[in-house]
Amino acid sequence: MLKVNHATRVVVLTGAGISAESGIRTFRDSDGLWEQHRIEDVATPEAFQRDPALVWRFYMARYLQSLEAEPNAGHKALVTLEEHTHFTLITQNVDSLHSRAGNKSVLEMHGRLSSCFCTLCRTRFILPEISFDGDLPYCQRCEGLLRPDIVWFGEVPYYLQEIQSALKKCKIFLIVGTSGVVYPAAGFVMTAKYLGAKTISVNLEKPSNHSFIDEFYPGKAGDVLPGLVQELIS
Ligand code: NAD
């Protein structure tokens, strides 16, 4: 097993699986439904245009659920890994559990449940600051409709430049709890591997992009990651 130190550039990519043990359900594990909703009804710009109140109810419920959840042993192991390496964490998750666990270098490429922005003037607000007028919240500056700060299917993820630059330099690329089907995140492993990184995956089952993975550790993130991180840093 490769050993790491403060100079070792490590990039981690996480998906919904790392938050499963915190009680937040994944998307793929429930037959393509996310908390009983079809993804097209709640996670696309068209869905928001069609029924913004439904989309807001869905994301407010997810936000409140995320506040109840606590980071688990998998999240905490990644804090330890950050303390011992030159570290970047890319997450597809929107629950902010990595930051709440204590990770500092976090790129939330699909946005976050805890903020929203104005569809007209783009001003960002955090959720506790906004109030609903009937079913919908409006901007305190220009009265435009606010939308969740979530990158929906069909939209461009955040931080793509920072991500490409981290992938180019990384020595270890660790992927945790992601099915490997949502692009562009699913393609990062290919970039990292072609550029010479060692690629490691921790997941319940082999992800769709497993042909690019050098070492696969089957199991729950909370069970596998603490030992794997200790092994890497020892
Ligand atoms: P996904 O639901 O497609 O895949 C989750 C993967 O995690 C599966 O392969 C599953 O086998 C694995 N898994 C389940 N429990 C695990 C555990 N305890 N330990 C390790 N692996 C486990 O998730 P995705 O690949 O992240 O893509 C879904 C999209 O939905 C993402 O873009 C994300 O933005 C969004 N989403 C986010 C959250 C969240 O913020 N927590 C939750 C659901 C969906």
Query: Please, what are the domains in the chain?
Result: 1-24+71-110+157-234 (3.40.50.1220), 27-68+112-150 (3.30.1600.10)
Choosing from 12, 27, 181 the residue with most ligand 1 atoms within 8 A of its CB, the one to mutate for a pocket test is 27
Burial environment of residue 119 by CB neighbours within 10 A (0 to 12, 13 to 18, 19 or more) = middle
Residue 120 has a pLDDT of 98
Pairing of strands 106-108, 86-91: parallel
CA 177 / ligand 1 centre spacing (Å): 6
Sequential pLDDT tens for the chain (234 residues): 789 999 999 999 999 999 999 999 887 666 666 767 888 889 999 999 999 999 999 999 999 999 999 999 999 999 999 999 999 999 999 999 999 999 999 999 999 999 999 999 999 999 999 998 788 999 999 999 999 999 999 999 999 999 999 999 999 999 999 999 889 999 999 999 999 999 999 999 999 999 999 999 999 999 999 999 999 999
Strand partners, 89: 12, 106
110 is catalytic: yes
User: Atom 25 (ligand 1): residue with closest C-alpha?
Assistant: 178
CA 158 / ligand 1 centre spacing (Å): 18
User: Atom 22 (ligand 1): residue with closest C-alpha?
Assistant: 17
Residue 117 has a pLDDT of 98
Name the active-site residue from 75, 86, 98, 110: 110
Residue 27 has a pLDDT of 75
Residues near 212 by beta carbon (within 8 Å), at least 6 away in sequence = 189, 190, 193, 199
- Calpha distance 37→85 (Å, rounded): 39
- Calpha distance 26→45 (Å, rounded): 21
Q: How many CB atoms lie within 10 A of CB 118?
A: 20
- Calpha distance 215→1 (Å, rounded): 10
Strand partners, 148: 116
User: Atom 9 (ligand 1): residue with closest C-alpha?
Assistant: 179
Question: Do 17 and 92 contact (CB within 8 A), yes or no?
Answer: no
Residue 125 has a pLDDT of 98
Question: Do 146 and 66 contact (CB within 8 A), yes or no?
Answer: no
CA 139 / ligand 1 centre spacing (Å): 32
